[in-house]
Chain A
Amino acid sequence: MRSLRVPYSVLILLCFLFVIPFIPALLASLGGVWRFPLVIPEGWSFRAWEAVFRENSGTLSAIWTSLWIALCVTVINVLVSVPAAYALVRGNLRYRAAIEAILLAPIFVPALAVVMGIHLTFLRLGLTETVLGVVLVHLAPSMPYVIRAAMISFETMNRETEQAAQLLGAGPWSRFLFVILPHLRAGLVAGVTLSMLISLSQYSVTLLIGGGQVVTLPILLFPYISGGDTSIGSAYTLVFSAVALLLVISLDVALRGHYKKKGRSRV
């Protein structure tokens, strides 16, 4: 595969655009007072950062809770979406279009619209204020993307490749493991990354179902931004961004390592 050449000026511009939003956040997190006429804040201090990483601030546990929930959501998403996508693409289902529409509906219908009903149901089931409840409610907005990604992977896979493997003696499991899964990998990297990020950034549904007991990063971050201490809010924003960025990079390295190394796969 020939690599696409991007002029350095464009790259620098893109980096600049990516970095710009973080500059005010960084300044705010380090500043004491930042009122209207001041271009940069007055009086430097690490007060906000100390508050974020204070021993009883709960930041680290919120990071772990967020990551744990995102991981659970993503594992469930993959386990459900791969067979669902396989059935949708290969299964010759009746009402395929209708099933697909329902599965993909959460992309168009905001989770908040249905979360009241879910809340009532979860109350009866005792799932509110639990990590499990939050995991379940995070599935709704994230799963459609994983299903889409898996479907596209299946659609681009020739059935005869599977048949070639089958005739060489590969049973259903071997075919899935050695032929289908490697083909899905590239598409699943996209789905998994999206699923992780969507779960990480959920605020309202986490608050409603978690009832403030399940503390994820956005739950910790939000009060500071909406009227609390903007310095601490800015520091949390940076922490949040760093977690998300590190997650995306490590997922990419871990899952796509193979294709990067070879760098020549046509997938």
Chain B
Amino acid sequence: MTVLRLKEIEKTYDSEFTLAPLELVIEEGEFFTLIGPSGCGKTTLLKVIAGLVTPDKGTIHHKGQDITEVVAERRHFAMMFQQPHLFPHMTVEQNVSFGLRMNKVPKTERTRRAKEALRQVGLESFAARYPSELSGGQQQRVSLARALVVEPELLLLDEPFSALDPQLKDEMQHLVKQLQKQLGITTVCVTHDQQEAFLLADRMAVMKEGKILQVGAPHTLYSHPDTRDVASFLGHTNVLAAQDAAALIPLTSLVRDNQLVIIPSEAIRLEETGTLGVIKHIQLQKDTALVTVALSKFEVVAKVWASRASNYKLGDQVFLNVEPNAIHLIPN
């Protein structure tokens, strides 16, 4: 079932930045991620959904009802920000039950539900503390409990993990994903972190300059990007003209000259036979290495195990082979 439908949404800020007319459909229970470089309008779009920013044009429908004119406090959505933004003068429990209090839930039920939400995020023993007595990660978990306790129609996440250090980030991502699945809350998350998007999202939308370029499951977008922008945003470095790619792999006659060939770097193998190239650059990572290989007219990047890469040195001659099923064609 469709939970949220955005139609022809437009928003212009001082003619500097425009959210192009865009369409978006969010399905019930899914974890939907908006991803793109900073300044692409993903946060603005999230705030339009939240009701914090009024679009210039277009409509938003929630479960069939037009909510374009409904103020944020009546939408029954909840939001988590980059910072926890807890209310410093309230205890952890008062913070968590704030939304229930605003919705006039009786006190005993408020307490019960706040305790339950705190238990879900593993902070039940912190109920009587004040936010300033908690660490950053704990505060962000309280912020999650505060958002979940109201059983929102939609959970909005505005880069909630980006201010956390790596280990906490992993923990929070797993906690959010687990609770989101367990409670079945439809979630829209903004991020610029691809790893996070691939880890969390059921579907995602890649944005650039106020436009949605492509929507789909993360791995579908990775293996079948529609455009060069989507491909390069998702980390494809080997986007080749068809006539160049022909040097690496036998292309079928279906491929026309005006098409581009995307070869994922992990689909290129360094072997005993194949297309000859010279190693130009080796970028070592923890487990894998990116090896830049120069061919006659262009360069490609191959991803190999780091342990294998250490056998090579700059200037070595290598033979390249490409996994033919992994390549993807897009129009130029």
Contact = CB atoms under 8 A, between A and B. Distances in A.
Chain A binding surface, main DSSP class: helix
Given A166-B73, A167-B78, A178 B85 contact: no
Interface string A240-267: 0000000000000000001000101111
Contacts of A169: 73-74, 76, 99, 102-103, 150
Nearest to B133: A264
Contact of B78 (A168, A174, A265): A168
A170 interface: yes
A163 B88 contact: no
B72 A160 contact: no
Interface residues of B, number: 30
Given A165-B102, A168-B99, A264-B132, 7 more contacts: A160-B83, A167-B50, A168-B78, A168-B146, A178-B87, A185-B89, A267-B88
Contacts of B75: 167
A126 interface: no
Contact of B81 (A1, A164, A182, A264): A164
Contacts of B51: 167
Contacts, number: 77
Contact of A262 (B73, B83, B130): B130
A168, A178, A267: most-surrounded residue (chain B CB, <10 A):
A168
B32 interface: no
Band of interface residues on A: 20 to 34
Contacts of B222: none
B218 to A, nearest CB: 27
B77 interface: yes
A157 to B, nearest CB: 10
Contact of A166 (B72, B83, B156): B72
Q: Which 10 pairs across A and B sit closest by C-beta, in order of nearness?
A: A168-B99, A169-B102, A182-B89, A161-B85, A167-B79, A164-B85, A266-B132, A166-B72, A170-B102, A160-B81
A129 to B, nearest CB: 44
A56 interface: no
Contact of B102 (A168, A258, A262): A168
A17 to B, nearest CB: 34
